[in-house]
């Protein structure tokens, strides 16, 4: 459990303001490498659309998130930030943002009650706009702060897990505001979910365990965009990869991509490392834990810390201890030892720094322009989930390519006419 945050005069609740200098260094490093976001800041965020707006953010609170919050603040918005996951919050970054004058309600290791309080404090800003992760703020607006809903112009959702929750709200007819599905933007999920999750999860795993990946049997549970990236990077590091899926199309795709496909019951006894990325709950359960080999390692790459049934693992264990930083060893009653990374939380950010800066540069460009779009067009949208407009997605990609010095081919007039005609040109 984390130490209870102290309240700062700046209306923030953080752990220790003296940590700010290290947080400042982290944010400065991001600012030097977030080239796409910096370019879009000049072309869009500085046009005055966000001046006077109140933006509530709940997202993994580390340096890349902090830089996004800072740019929104610089664009004239009043910003309140909470961490969406207590284990991913970096106290030095929280301190740096608070010292810069933003409202920050976050502390590493906060217990569930404290995290809930921090999220609600963020909503006390009475926001016009919301940037959400896992539907944490939007769900609380509807359940705990419904009186604030009429003031909210719209929200933007970062994660697959959040989109699933929002779809459930929409299906029940209870979603009362427009939400941009930022996670579904091509410049987000094609890169963030695949390459970001793939690299950062394997990096966190290797750093936490100091073990070799090559030659090991890695079981990837879920073959969405995150699972694709995990399988790709694991194979690239020399692992033998087995994919577990419930969707026949995704399972067939994994098989065609060259991976072994099996049920989790089949894979449980052969895996050295298990990585979950489904957005669901208890995909690794007691019956799977009972089949695992001695020394198996359990890693969660999904947003919420419930893909691995940790209570079942605890019940099976005769004892548990910290084997290394970020690793809990469970000694089972039959003598086998299983190892769990960061209590089953999102491993890449709870045990490391999350996605590479260049990946989040694009993801947070999506979030920044989604908020910019909502500031100007939210009143034109009905309550419910909405895609990021295609032209915004394409502009982000074009900006990134231009900054990388990549020049695209252009279609000729003849080619454009051909593609727009249905008549035979024989």
Query: Per-residue pLDDT averaged across 132-152, rounded?
Result: 97
Instruction: Classify residue 414: in a domain, yes or no.
Output: no
The CATH number that applies at residue 107 is 3.40.50.1480
Instruction: Classify residue 61: in a domain, yes or no.
Output: yes
Residues 324 and 258 in one domain: yes
Structural domain boundaries, residue 360: 6-188+355-403
The CATH number that applies at residue 283 is 3.40.50.720
For residue 199, is pLDDT > 90?
Answer: yes
Residues 342 and 273 in one domain: yes
Residues 359 and 335 in one domain: no
For residue 195, is pLDDT > 50?
Answer: yes
Instruction: Classify residue 295: in a domain, yes or no.
Output: yes
Rounded distance, CA 204 to CA 162, Å? 23
In this prediction, residue 8 has a pLDDT band, given cuts at 50, 70 and 90, of very low
In this prediction, residue 11 has a pLDDT band, given cuts at 50, 70 and 90, of confident
In this structure, are residues 243 and 254 in contact, taking their beta carbons and an 8 Å threshold?
Answer: yes
Residues 13 and 162 in one domain: yes
For residue 48, is pLDDT > 50?
Answer: yes
pLDDT at 425: 63
Closest by alpha carbon to 371, among 30, 73, 136?
Answer: 73
In this prediction, residue 7 has a pLDDT band, given cuts at 50, 70 and 90, of very low
Residues 214 and 327 in one domain: yes
pLDDT at 206: 98
pLDDT at 423: 83
Residue percentage of the chain with pLDDT more than 70 = 97
pLDDT at 410: 95
Closest by alpha carbon to 378, among 155, 222, 169, 184?
Answer: 155
Pick from 350, 381, 411: which residue ends a domain? 350
Residues 13 and 159 in one domain: yes
Q: Which residues pair with 330 in a beta bridge?
A: 320, 338
Residues 214 and 130 in one domain: no
pLDDT at 5: 54
Output the CA torsion sign for 363, 366, 368, 370. Answer: negative
User: Which of the 8 DSSP states describes residue 3?
Assistant: P
Q: Give how many domains the chain has, as a whole number.
A: 2
Instruction: Classify residue 416: in a domain, yes or no.
Output: no
Residues 200 and 155 in one domain: no
For residue 408, is pLDDT > 90?
Answer: yes
Residues 157 and 253 in one domain: no
Instruction: Classify residue 420: in a domain, yes or no.
Output: no
Instruction: Classify residue 312: in a domain, yes or no.
Output: yes
Residues 174 and 107 in one domain: yes
Query: Per-residue pLDDT averaged across 236-249, rounded?
Result: 98
The predicted model scores a pTM of: 0.91
Residues 57 and 164 in one domain: yes
Instruction: Classify residue 426: in a domain, yes or no.
Output: no
pLDDT at 1: 40
Residues 63 and 100 in one domain: yes
pLDDT averaged over every residue in the chain: 95
Rounded distance, CA 341 to CA 331, Å? 15
Residue percentage of the chain with pLDDT more than 90 = 94
pLDDT digits (tens, 9 = 90+) for 328-386: 999 999 999 999 999 999 999 999 999 999 999 999 999 999 999 999 999 999 999 99
């Amino acid at each position: 459990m984390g130490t209870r945050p102290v309240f700062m005069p700046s209306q923030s609740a953080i752990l220790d303001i003296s940590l700010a200098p290290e947080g400042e260094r982290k944010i400065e490093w991001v600012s030097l490498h977030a080239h796409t976001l910096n370019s879009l800041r000049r072309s869009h965020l500085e046009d005055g659309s966000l001046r006077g707006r109140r933006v509530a953010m709940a997202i993994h609170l580390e340096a890349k998130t902090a830089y996004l919050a800072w740019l929104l603040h610089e664009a004239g918005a009043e910003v309140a930030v909470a961490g969406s996951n207590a284990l991913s919050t970096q106290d030095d970054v929280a301190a740096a943002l608070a010292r810069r004058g933003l409202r920050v309600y976050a502390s590493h290791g906060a217990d569930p009650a404290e995290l809930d309080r921090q999220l609600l404090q963020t909503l006390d800003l009475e926001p016009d706009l919301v940037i959400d992760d896992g539907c944490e703020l939007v769900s609380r607006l509807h359940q705990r702060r419904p009186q604030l809903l009429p003031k909210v112009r719209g929200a933007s959702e970062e994660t697959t897990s959040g989109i699933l929750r929002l779809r459930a709200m929409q299906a029940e007819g209870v979603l009362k505001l427009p939400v941009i599905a930022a996670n579904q933007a091509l410049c987000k999920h094609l890169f963030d979910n695949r390459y970001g999750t793939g690299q950062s999860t394997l990096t966190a795993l290797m750093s936490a365990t100091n073990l070799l990946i090559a030659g090991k049997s890695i079981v990837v549970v879920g073959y969405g965009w995150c699972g694709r990236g995990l399988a790709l990077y694991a194979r690239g590091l020399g692992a033998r990869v087995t994919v577990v899926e419930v969707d026949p199309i995704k399972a067939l795709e994994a098989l065609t991509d060259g991976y072994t496909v099996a049920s989790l019951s089949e894979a449980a006894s052969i895996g050295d490392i298990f990585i979950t990325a489904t957005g669901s709950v208890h995909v690794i359960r007691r019956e799977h834990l009972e089949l695992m080999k001695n020394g198996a390692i359990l890693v969660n790459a999904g947003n919420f810390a419930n893909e691995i049934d940790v209570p079942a693992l605890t019940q099976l264990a005769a004892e548990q201890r910290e084997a290394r930083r970020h690793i809990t060893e469970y000694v089972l009653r039959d003598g086998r030892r299983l190892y769990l990374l960061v209590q089953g939380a999102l491993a890449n950010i709870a045990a490391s720094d999350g996605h590479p800066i260049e990946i989040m540069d694009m993801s947070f460009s999506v979030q920044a322009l989604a908020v910019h779009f909502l500031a100007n067009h939210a009143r034109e949208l009905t309550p419910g989930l909405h895609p990021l407009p295609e032209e915004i997605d394409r502009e982000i990609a074009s900006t990134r390519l231009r900054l990388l010095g990549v020049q695209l081919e252009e279609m000729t007039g003849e080619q454009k006419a051909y593609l727009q005609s249905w008549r035979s040109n024989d």
